[in-house]
Amino acid sequence: MAENTDAKWYVVHTYSGYENKVATDLEKMVENRKMQDLILDIKIPTETVTEIKDDKVREIERKIFPGYVLIKMIVTDDSWYVVRNTRGVTGFVGPASKPVPLTDSEVAALGVEKHSVEVGYKVGDNVKIIDGPLSDYTGIVGEIDIVKNNVTVVISMFGRETPAQLELDQVALID
């Protein structure tokens, strides 16, 4: 199925503790009513937290926004009705329960849609800067931060080693 560009992410408010129930109920309704083309994805933003309690270390998954579920959908009367009338849903986030889509930057900040990044270089490799004001400089990769989309390249500038913070796609491996 091709990615639909009309679909946007919306935030739905639920009773606290009902997020998982709302998500599974919605998935069942989408399946039963064959609405996969209108309601594309349902997510509950979570984070993995390492908890140390009574000298025991364990990792737990914690909801980042308790009481909220994110839904990627195309808003029509039918899709709005299905979501709005799911048990545990108190409404869409927005003025007068009118759904307001998240902006692309909000979606990126929430980390809802993961974009996997693969780089062809590693720490210690010689690279060439291919974009930006330092274009055509060469240097050595000092640090790579996939999450922040950053790479630190140590370049020699005016006889000094200078670290430059760049985006991952601004650098290419020297063959």
Q: Residue 48: is its pLDDT beyond 80? A: no
DSSP 44-102: --EEEEEEEETTEEEEEEEESSTTEEEEEE---HHHHHHHHTSTTEEEESSGGG---PP
Q: Which CATH architecture has domain 8-110?
A: 2-Layer Sandwich (3.30)
Predicted confidence (pLDDT) per residue in 3-30, tens digit: 456 889 999 999 989 999 999 999 999 9
Which residues are CB-contacts of 22 (< 8 A; sequence separation ≥ 6)? 12, 14, 69, 86, 87, 88, 89
Quickly state the pLDDT bin for 116 (edges 50, 70, 90). low
| Closest C-alpha among 137, 138, 139, 145 to residue 119 | 145
CA–CA separation, 37 and 40 (whole Å)? 6
Strand order in the sheet with 150-157: 160-167, 150-157, 138-145, 126-129, 171-173
Please state, rounded to an integer, the average pLDDT across all residues of the chain: 85
Quickly state the pLDDT bin for 158 (edges 50, 70, 90). confident
The whole-number pLDDT of residue 5 equals 62
Tokens of 126: 């010689």
CATH 2.30.30.30 in the chain is located at 126-173
CATH 3.30.70.940 in the chain is located at 8-110
Higher pLDDT, 1 or 98: 98
With 0-12 CB in 10 A as exposed, 13-18 as middle and 19+ as buried, what is 141? buried
Q: Residue 153: is its pLDDT beyond 50? A: yes
How does strand 126-129 pair with strand 138-145?
antiparallel
User: Is the domain 126-173 a CATH 2.30.30.30 member?
Assistant: yes
